[in-house]
A and B are shown apart, each in its own frame.
Chain A
Amino acid sequence: MAGNIAAGPLSGIRPALPLLAPAYLWLTLAIFLPLSAMAFFSFMTDLPLSGKDWSFTIRNYAAFFSSGLYVTLLWSSLRLGLEVTLWCALIGFPAAYVLAKVLKGRSREAIFLLVILPFWSNGLVRIFSWAMVLREGGILDVVLNAILPFKISVDLMYSYPAVIIGLVHSYVPYMVLTCYLTLQAIDDSLIEAARSLGASRLQVLRRLIIPLAMPGLIAGAVLIFVPVVGSFMEPRILGGRTGTFYGTVIEDQFVAVFNWPLGAALSFILLAVVLVILAAASPVLRRAT
C-alpha cells in the first residue's frame, strides 16, 4: 500500500497529463496571466498604455492606509459578506435538508430545478427585477396593500436591506447545493439509530446532522463570502446612497477615473484580507470538516 502511494505520483502523472493539461493551460491563460498583469499594474504610477511616463511605486498601496476611507469601506464590505452568508445559511440549510431527506423522486427533481433556476438568468436581470419589486408602488407594495386590511408603505428600494435581499437571492443556491451534497451522504440509518436511542429531533439536528453536514456549510459559506465582499453590481443598483462599498470604489477606479493602478492595488489588498481571514479561520474549519 505504502509503495503504491509512493509510486503513485510519479507513475500516475504521465498518463494523467493529457487529461490535466487543457484545464491547467486554460487556468494559466485565463487567470494567472491577467492576475499577474494586474499585480504588475498595482505597483505603477501610471498605465504604460496611457503614453505617459511611468515608474514603480508603492503609492497605490499606501493610499489604502493614508485615510480612514478605504478601511471603513472594507470593514462595511466584510460585514455585508458575513450578513449575507448568515442569511444564506439560515435559508439554504433547511431547504437543502428537505431536498435531501424529505422529498423523493419527481417532487425532489422539481424543487431542485427551482433552486438552480436563478443560475439560468442573467444577474443584471435579476437585480432589476428586484428593483421593480422593492420600490414604493412596486409589486411588493401593491400586493401587501391588496391583502392587508390596513395601509402600509413598503419602500425598501435604495437601502441596505435591499442590497442584502438582492445578494442573498443571488447566492443562496450555492448554499443549498453544497449542503444538499453533504446531507444526502448522511446515512439514514444513523438518524434512525439516534432516534431509537432516545435523542430528540433537536438533539439529532444539533449533534448529528449539523456536524456531519459541516463541510457543505463551510464550502457554501466560503463560496458566498468571498464574492460578496467584492460585490459592486447589487450595492450600486439596489443600495442607492447607502450603496457605496469596497467593490463599488474599485469599480470606480477602473471605470470612472481610469486609475487602474490604484484599482488593482485595492483589489489585491482585498484579496490579501480575504486570504488572511480564511487562513485565520482554517484551524476551526479543519476541525469542523
Chain B
Amino acid sequence: MTRLIATLTATTVFASILVFAAQADEVHVLNWKGYGADEPWAVEAFEKATGNKVVNDFFNSEQEMLTKLRTNPGLYDVVMINAAFNDQAMSEKLIQPIDLSKIPNAADISPDKASSPMLNHDGKAYGVPWVWGLTALAINDKSFDTPPASISVMWDEARKGRVVIRDDAVEAIQFGAIATGQNINDIKDMDAVKAKLTSLMPQIRTFWSSENDWNQMVASNQIDVGTYWSGSADRAKTQFKLPVSLVIPQEGSVAWLDAFSIPVGSKNVAGAEAFINYMIDPKFYVEWVTKVGAPVSANEKAVAALPEESFNRKVMGDPEVAKRIQFQAPITDEQREKYLALWQELKVNVK
C-alpha cells in the first residue's frame, strides 16, 4: 500500500512538472469547436510565425464557457465570447482589460464594432471584435425556384413538416420577436411571440442543435427552410458543397458579434495578444472564408480583401441589410430562465 501511494504521488508530481514545464509558450484557447481558431492550417501558420504552441479547448454553450473560466482560473489565455456575454464575464472578474496597442490589426476594426458599449467598460476594452454574423433563414436550393423574401415562409402550409428551428430558447424567442415585428432586446408583447411560435410548431420537422444536423438534413433533402447562422450557411456551401443559401428576410434578423478576450490570470498575455492579432488578420480571414467558410470579419481591411462578389462582402456589407438587422444585447439570468420555461412549454405542448 505504501508503495502504491508512493508511486501515485510520484506520478502526480511528475505529471504536474510536465504540465508546468509545457506551459511556458503555450496559448490556451477556449472557443466553439470548428470555429476558425482550431483550423489545423491556421494553428500551424501561427505556431510557425510566433513559436507559441496553441492548445484548443471547446465549449458547447455560453454557460459552459463561463463555468470553464470560473473553475479553471489561470488556465486559458484567450477566450472567444459573444459580445452579449462580455459584460457578465467582466463583472464576474473573469476577463481583463486588453492593451490594444499590442494588437496592430485592431486599428483596422470598424469603429462602430470596436467602440461597442458591450465590449468597452470604463474606457477600457475587454474584448477585441472578431467576426459578426446573423441568425437568419437558410433554404434548400432544390426546394425553391426563387428565394423567399419574407419570414412568413416558415409558416407556409406548403412547407409543413419541412421546416427546422434551433433548439435554443433565446434564439427561438428572439426569432418570434422578429416575426411579430418587435425589438429583440425589448420584447413588449410576449403573448404575441408565444402565439406566433405556437402556430409554428406544427410546421417543424425537428429541432436542430449542431451544424452537422442541419447539413445532413439538407443533404438527404428532408427540409426546405430553417433558421441558420450566416457563417454556417457559408460553410455548408463552400466546404460541404451543399445546396444551401442564406436568406435575410425583409422583417429582419438577429445579429451577433463575437469577440476575443483575455482571461484574468493568463500566464501568456503576450502570446494571447499575438494570437488575437493573427485571428483578426486579413490573411487568415481570406483563407478561412475560401477554404472553410466564415462569418463576416469585424476587420474592415479583411472584408475588403475578399473578392467583390463574395457573399460576406456584397450582401452582408449592403447598407440595406444593415438597416434590417438587430444586434443581440446582454440578457439577464431571469430573462433566460423565463425564455427557457416558455420554450419548453411550447415543445411539450406540440406532442
Contacts and interface: CB of A to CB of B under 8 A. Distances in A.
Contacts of A50: 66-67, 70
Given A69-B344, A158-B206, A258-B61, A241 B220 contact: no
Interface in A238-259: 239-244, 249, 252, 255-259
B351 interface: yes
Range class of the B interface residue count: 20 to 34
B198 interface: no
A51 B92 contact: yes
B71 interface: yes
Contacts of A257: 61, 63, 169, 336-337, 340
B60 interface: yes
B64 A135 contact: no
Contacts of B60: 255
Contacts of A240: 204-207
Interface in A40-73: 47, 49-51, 67, 69, 72-73
A177 B58 CA distance: 40
Contact of B348 (A73, A255, A256, A259): A73
A44 to B, nearest CB: 15
B64 A76 contact: no
A76 B167 CA distance: 20
A137 B201 CA distance: 24
A260 B66 CA distance: 14
Contacts of B220: 135, 137-138
B39 interface: no
A242 B161 CA distance: 12
Nearest to B216: A131
Interface in B308-351: 336-337, 340-341, 344-345, 347-348, 350-351
Contacts of A239: 206
Interface in B55-73: 60-61, 63-64, 66-67, 70-71
B143 interface: no
**Chain A interface, >50% SS class:** loop
Contacts of A138: 220
Interface string B206-237: 11000000000000111000000000000000
Contacts of B337: 257, 259
Contact of A72 (B66, B71, B168, B348): B348
B351 A244 contact: yes
Interface string A157-168: 110000000000
A242 B67 contact: no
Nearest to A249: B344
A255 B67 contact: no
Contacts of A135: 220, 222
Interface string B141-175: 00000000000000000000000000111000000
Given A157-B222, A257-B336, A69 B345 contact: yes
B61 A244 contact: no
A76 B349 CA distance: 12
A83 interface: no
Contact of B204 (A67, A73, A241): A241
Given A51-B70, A241-B204, A241-B347, A137 B61 contact: no
A85 B87 CA distance: 50
Interface string A253-281: 00111110000000000000000000000
B297 to A, nearest CB: 29
B340 to A, nearest CB: 6
B176 to A, nearest CB: 16
A241 B344 contact: no
Contact of A158 (B201, B205, B351): B205
A234 B310 CA distance: 40
Interface in A121-140: 135-138
Nearest to A73: B348
Contacts of B222: 135-137, 157
Contact of B350 (A47, A49, A241, A259): A241
B71 A49 contact: yes
A136 B220 CA distance: 9
A136 B167 CA distance: 22
Contacts of A76: 351
B64 A258 contact: yes
A2 B56 CA distance: 66
Contacts of A249: 344
Nearest to A258: B63
Nearest to A76: B351
B348 A244 contact: yes
Interface string B249-289: 00000000000000000000000000000000000000000
Interface string B32-75: 00000000000000000000000000001101101100110000
22 contacts: A49-B70, A50-B67, A51-B92, A67-B341, A69-B344, A69-B348, A137-B222, A158-B205, A239-B206, A240-B204, A240-B205, A240-B206, A241-B207, A242-B350, A244-B350, A244-B351, A249-B344, A252-B340, A252-B344, A256-B169, A258-B66, A259-B337
Interface of B: 60-61, 63-64, 66-67, 70-71, 92, 167-169, 201, 204-207, 220-222, 336-337, 340-341, 344-345, 347-348, 350-351
What 5 A-B pairs are tightest by C-beta distance, nearest first? A240-B206, A258-B63, A244-B347, A241-B204, A158-B206
Given A137-B222, A244-B351, A259-B337, 9 more contacts: A49-B71, A50-B66, A50-B70, A135-B220, A241-B207, A242-B350, A249-B344, A252-B344, A257-B61
